[in-house]
Structure formats: C-alpha cells, structure tokens
Amino acid sequence: MIAFVHGMAVDMTESSVVVEAGGIGYEIYMTGADLSEIRMGEDVKVHTYFSVREDAMKLYGFRAKDDLQMFKLLLGVNGVGPKAALGVLAGITADELRFAILSDDVKTLSKAPGIGKKTAQKLILELKDKMKLEDAFELKLAHEQERAAVGAGEVSDGRQEAVEALVALGYSSADALRAVRKVTDVPPDDVEGLLKAALKNF
C-alpha cells in the first residue's frame, strides 16, 4: 500500500523515526543501523512495508530496497512476524542473511533476537530454494562497490584524519565514520574542529 515515504526526519525514538511528508508524520520502525544514518531535519527516503493486524497498524522501513525485499521474504516464513523479521535484519545484513541461508548456517541466524534454533532451521528450509548463490555474490559485490563509492565521495582528507584519530581513541571505524559524517557545520579541512564535534555525537 505504501511503497516508500520521502520527506523530512522530524523526530526519533530508539526504534523508529517520524518522517513528515505532505503534512503527515509517518512513524516508521527501523533497525538501529538504519536509524543511526538519519539526521534530524534531513531529507530521507525510506522503503516501507505496511503491516496490518487486528491490534495494530505499523510501518516498517529500510534505507535500502534490498533490505525490504529480504524483510518480505522473512515474513513469508510461517511463524515469523514483522518484529522478528526486523530483529533478524538488525543483527545481520541482507547479504549475510542470504549467505547464512544458502550455507545452512543455523548458528548465525539464531543469534537474531526472537529467532531460536528451530525457527532458524525453518528459515533455511523455506527460503533456500528462493535464492541463488550467484545472485548472492553479485548483490554483495554491488553493495560493496556502492559503499566504496559513497565512502570516497563523503570522506575528505581532513575527515579521514578525524576518523583515524577516533579509531586511535578506541572507537570502531564504522562508529567513527558515522560520527564524522554527522558533522555538517565544520569545514572539512578543520581536523581539530571535526574531532571535537564528532566526539559530541557519541
């Protein structure tokens, strides 16, 4: 019914973002990784799934269309609801999920909240035939190239130095990169300023 929502991020909770589009605020439940990439007041496009149940109507969303496709595949498995499907994609990426299913990796799948060993086995049994190893490799390669292009485009020399400084302080490279990217009001060559502003984002 609602394929995507495109508008301004105006509010956020631990598990959702409110996107204002056409004068309406849509609360969309997302993974922590996706939420961490959204800044208040920025223009965002979220690919969504509209879940309708007797007791609730909720929107679940993803930054990447591929994640939404995997979410829908998970929902097709008997006993897996939207909350559990979101939990799976919060724990592992769509690429990791595909490879876990294709390689019968019950251990990786059962790490997700709400997914025990039996459900993980069921996921593999029901979804393995719907995937191809060649497609999984192609998609993974495409995603890696996208990330490399985005990284190269967004991180200038000064920003790179700030990221390296944060890593030296003990932060993970992913968290450091995210914190530096959130800084928009400091010149990209002001390493000290970038570092101070990025530390406030933690």
Q: For residue 190, what is the domain's CATH number? A: 1.10.8.10
Please say which residue of 10, 44, 63 terminates a domain.
63
Structural domain of residue 47, as residue ranges? 1-63
Using CA atoms of 178, 184, 186, 188 in order, give the dihedral in degrees to the nearest 10.
70
Q: Which residues contact 22 (CB under 8 A, 6 or more apart)?
A: 7
Co-location of 37 and 85 in the same domain: no
Tokens 């495409």 locate to 142
**DSSP, res 128:** G
Place of tokens 């984002």: 201
Structural domain ending residue among the three candidates 63, 90, 108: 63
Residues 107 and 149 placed together within one structural domain of the fold: yes
Residues 69 and 150 in one domain: yes
13/48 same-domain check: yes
Q: pLDDT tens digits, the chain, 202 residues: what are they?
A: 789 999 999 999 989 999 999 999 999 999 988 998 888 999 999 999 999 988 889 999 999 888 898 899 999 888 888 988 998 888 888 888 888 888 888 888 887 777 788 888 888 888 887 777 677 677 677 767 666 665 555 555 677 788 888 888 888 767 777 788 788 888 877 888 888 888 887 7
Q: What is the pLDDT of residue 17?
A: 95
CA distance 149 to 141: 12
Task: With CA atoms as reference, report the closest residue to 154 among 196, 30, 162, 46.
Answer: 162
Statement: the pTM of the whole predicted model exceeds 0.75: no
Residue 148: its pLDDT value, please? 66
Residue 14 sits at φ, ψ, to 5 deg, of -65, -30
